[in-house]
Amino acid sequence: MRIGVPKEVKTHEYRVGLVPGSVRELLHHGHQIVVEKNAGAGIGIDDADYVRAGATVAASAVEVFAGADMIVKVKEPQPAEIAMLRTGQVLFTYLHLAADKGQTEGLLRSGATCIAYETVTDARGGLPLLAPMSEVAGRMSVQVGAHCLEKEQGGKGVLLGGVPGVKAAKVVIIGGGVSGTNAARMAMGMEAYVTVIDKSLHRLYELDLQFGSQLHTLFSTVENIENEVIEADLVIGAVLVPGAAAPKLVSRDMVRRMKPGSVIVDIAIDQGGCFETSRPTTHASPTYVDEGVVHYCVTNMPGAVARTSTFALNNATLPFVLALADKGWRKALQDDVYLRRGLNVHGGAITFEAVATDLGLPLNPIERVLAAA
């Protein structure tokens, strides 16, 4: 198979779909890899590194898309990239379609087979291709939240961990999954007062066993969310419904009742965000103030630490890229029920139920697609 790796074009996105080590592994399996010029330059990977690994370097994205059977990316395709996709081509990347009707409609028109990292599952019900970036985003959320609390950034001028004689900041994390757990770990490490809210008692029990009395946990109810949010210095939204739009758990009224200069970091913004006041931002202009509260809602948070993120993501995606390349997408999905759940769009139709439901568009179930082989 001929695999194409274009340079990411989203604002301040420096990650890359395949690193040279992954290229070597694919080459060992008999595949060809074409990488766009300077695709890895933002994380210190030169074109010469790809050439040494066995890849061909193309002068433009047009050349990459035109010659590839499968495109491996990081972020959702932008309009110019969607226009280069074609029927029969496989796209393997993050998509987050439930919050993006425009992108979805573009992919439907393209006729391409689109497999989303964020809906591939594993035997434990986890999301193995989302987990590495959730870990990064969770850890980053505390880092950027602490920075936004500084007075010069519009915050209330609070040090997250306090100092002897002065109380620490109150951090509230909504969602105790991968990103929420990593956020809690970082916030506790900075000696903040940390509370995690989750709807799963089992998950809260696991967090209690993991962190003990250093972490405070609460069951997710409207009352508990409201009480904690309005008293918080930093609120981190780490809610995830696989493949679906994030629920709006924090209303504008709750945000309005927060103390001026408090900070919201919405990790769930890729899926529409879990705060009513959230709207997507970029690394070029990451924050805005609404209802007196600083909002950080960057849609590609891990892109800020692009080198770490790229290698972490490649560790997770490579086995699936190999399966798709070795077997072809149809056989790979038939053989692996977990990879099968990554199929979101095929042949001009949505194949993932949550996306179809959230966007109000027709569904062609994955089972029907595979049965039509």
Q: Indicate which residues carry an active-site annotation.
A: 96, 270
Q: Are 340 and 332 in contact (CB under 8 A)?
A: no
Place of tokens 């595979």: 370
Dist CA 142 CA 136 (whole Å):
11
Residue that the structure tokens 């103030």 belong to = 289
**DSSP 8-class letter at 159:** -
Q: Are 55 and 33 in contact (CB under 8 A)?
A: yes
Contact (CB, 8 A) for 42 and 14: yes
Residues 6+ apart with CB under 8 A from 205: none
Task: Report the DSSP beta bridge partners of residue 193.
Answer: 170
The C-alpha atoms of residue 335 and residue 3 are separated, in whole angstroms, by: 21
Strand order in the sheet with 349-350: 56-58, 32-36, 2-5, 70-72, 90-93, 113-116, 343-346, 349-350
DSSP three-state, residue 17: coil
Tokens of 282: 């970029």
Structural contact between residues 172 and 235, judged by C-beta atoms closer than 8 angstroms: yes
Return phi, psi of residue 336, to 5°.
Answer: -130, 105
Q: Using CA of residue 283, residue 93, residue 15, residue 36, what is the dihedral sign?
A: negative
Q: Return d(Cα 58, Cα 63) in angstroms, integer.
A: 6
